[in-house]
Structure 1
Amino acid sequence: MKYSGVLKKMTTEFISPVNYYLDMGGDFLNMNQLINKTISIGFVKYQCLACGEDKKIFRQGFCYDCFYKMPQTGDWIMRPELSTAHLDIEDRDLEFEKQAQLQPHVVYLANSSDVKVGVTRKAQIPTRWIDQGAHEAIEIVEVPNRYLAGITEVALKDHVGDKTNWRRMLTNNVKDLNLAEERDKLFAFVPEEAKPYVIENNKETEISFPVEKYPQKIKSLNLDKTQLYQGVLKGIKGQYLIFEDGTVFNVRNWEGYVVEVGV
C-alpha cells in the first residue's frame, strides 16, 4: 500500500518498548508493526509547515521566509537563556512567547551516547528524552519559566556536555550510568535563582526502543540526494528509522517534505 503525507516528527507512546506512529495525511502508521518489513520512502514535493506552499524547506519544516518570522523559531527556542517573556518583552509574538516560556520547565540529564544536559517543558517529558534516543534520563531542577531553565543549563554546560553523538546512539555504543550520582555532582553549580527548585530524591527514567538490530556502520538517507529509497526496517530509536543495510533516516530532519511511503 502507498501512503502520502507531509513529514512531521513521529508521535510516541511511552511503553516498553516505545511505540511510534507516523502521520501520513490522516493515516497513522504504527511503525513498530513495520519492523522486519520492506518499506519505501519517496520524495514528492515540499510543503512548508507554516504557509503550506511548495517552497524549499530551510529549517525545522519551514521555508526561508516563514523560518525568520514564525515565533516557533525564535532564538530562545535553541537558547532558552534568551527568553524574555517573564520580563514582558516581545521577541516576535509576546502572547505566543508567554504561553511557551511561562510554564514549568525541566533541566535534565539524558544518556543517549554520553551524558548531556538539556532543557524541555515539563509537559514534554518523557517525549523529549524519547526523541533524543536517551535510554535513561533524570530531572535536575523544575523551574517556573524557560529563562531560569536556560541560565541553569548554561551554568551546567561548563561541567557536562550538551550534545548527542547520534552515530554512537544509533550503533548502541553507549554505557549505563548512575544518573542520580551524576546529577548530585552538579547541584553545586546550579545558579542561585534556580537552587530553590532543585530535585533531590527522584529516580532515573529508563527507556527501551524497538530495535531488532543495530548497524555497525551508518549512512544517512538524504532526500535531496536520494529521492527514492527502499529497505528492510530493523528498528526505531529517537526519531530515526534504522534499516538493515545501515541506512538511517531522521524523520524530524525532513519535516516539511511530502513523501510517499510504500508498505
Structure 2
Amino acid sequence: MQYQGVLTKMQTELGKPIQYYLVFEDSFLNMNQLLNKEIEINFVGFECLNCHKKKKIYRQGFCYECFYSSPAVGDWIMRPELSTAHLGIADRDLDYEQKVQLQPHVVYLAVASEIKVGVTRKTQVPTRWIDQGATQAIAIVEVPNRYLAGITEVALKDHYTDKTNWRKMLQNAGENFDLIAEKAKVESLIPPEVQEYFYAQKNDLYELQYPVLSYPTKVASLNLDKSPSFQGKLVGIKGQYLIFENGTVFNIRGSEGYVVTINV
C-alpha cells in the first residue's frame, strides 16, 4: 500500500510502549504496526510548512524566506532566554510571541544519553521528552513565561548539557542516573527570581518505553537529498527516528517539509 504526503514530526501517544503516528493530509500510519516489516521511502519534492509553496527546505521544514520571517522560528525558540514578550517587546510578531511565551513553561532534567537540561511549554509534557528519546525525565520548576525558563536553563547549563547525543540515544548507550537525587541538587543553582517556582515536594518521575525490537551497534543517517530512495526493515522507533535493521536511521523531524511516498 502506498502513502504520500509532507513529512512533519510524528505524533505520539504515551503508552508502554509509546505509540507513533505519521500523519499526512488525507491519511495516517501507526508506525508501531510496521515493526519488523519492509518499508520503502521515496523522496518526491518539497513543501514549506509555512507558505506551503513547493520551495526547497532551508531549516526546520521552512523555506529560506519563511525561516527568516516567520515568528514560529525566531531565535527565542532555541534560546528561550531571548524571549521578550513579557516586556511587551516584539521579535517578529508580538501577538504570536505573547501566545507562546506567556504561558506556563517547565524546566526539566532528562536522560537520553546523559543528563540534559531543557525547556518546554507545560502543554508539551511529556511530548517534548518523547521527541528527544529520553528514557527518564523530571520537572524542576514550572514558571509563568518562557523567559524565566530560559534564564533557569542558562544557569544550569554550567552543570548539565543541553544537547542530546543522538547516536548514543539510538544505540541505547546512556547511563543510569537518579534524577530525583539530581533534582535535589539543582535548587541552589537556579536564579533567585525562579526559586519560588522550584518543585520542592513534587518528584513525578517519567519513565518512557519505546517500540524498539533491536538497537544498532553503529548508526548511519539517511539523507533524502543524497539517497532519495530507501528500503529496509523497520526494527525500532525512538525520539523522532525510525531505526532500520541495517543500522540506518531516519530523522523524521529533521526532514520536515519533504514530500515522500511510503510503500508498506
TM-score range, shorter chain: over 0.9
Q: CA deviation at 1:190?
A: 0.5
What pairs with 1:89-104 in structure 2 (closer than 5 Å)?
89-104=89-104
Q: Which residue number corresponds to residue 6 of structure 2?
A: 6
Q: Does 1:232 align with 2:233?
A: yes
Describe the SS at the equivalent of 1:57. coil
User: Where do 5+ consecutive residues of structure 1 fail to align?
Assistant: none
Q: CA deviation at 1:204?
A: 1.2
What pairs with 1:13-32 in structure 2 (closer than 5 Å)?
13-32=13-32
What pairs with 1:30-41 in structure 2 (closer than 5 Å)?
30-41=30-41
Q: Which residue number corresponds to residue 52 of structure 1?
A: 52
Q: Which residue number corresponds to residue 262 of structure 2?
A: 261
Describe the SS at the equivalent of 1:242. strand
Instruction: Write the distance in 2 (CA, Å) between the matches of 1:115 and 1:90.
Output: 33
Per the normalisation by structure 1, the TM-score is: 0.99
Describe the SS at the equivalent of 2:103. coil
Per the normalisation by structure 2, the TM-score is: 0.99
CA RMSD of superposed structures (Å): 0.6
What pairs with 1:37-186 in structure 2 (closer than 5 Å)?
37-186=37-186
Residues 159 and 186, structure 1, Cα contact 8 Å, conserved in 2: no
Q: CA deviation at 1:42?
A: 0.4
The count of corresponding residues between Structure 1 and Structure 2 is 263
Q: CA deviation at 1:24?
A: 2.5
Describe the SS at the equivalent of 2:58. strand
Describe the SS at the equivalent of 1:123. helix
**Runs of 4+ more than 4 Å apart:** none
Instruction: Write the distance in 2 (CA, Å) between the matches of 1:225 and 1:170.
Output: 22
Q: CA deviation at 1:25?
A: 2.7
Percent of residue pairs identical:
63
Instruction: Write the distance in 2 (CA, Å) between the matches of 1:198 and 1:213.
Output: 38
CA deviation profile, 1:81-115 (whole Å, cap 9, x unmatched): 00000000001000000000000000000000000
Instruction: Write the distance in 2 (CA, Å) between the matches of 1:74 and 1:113.
Output: 28
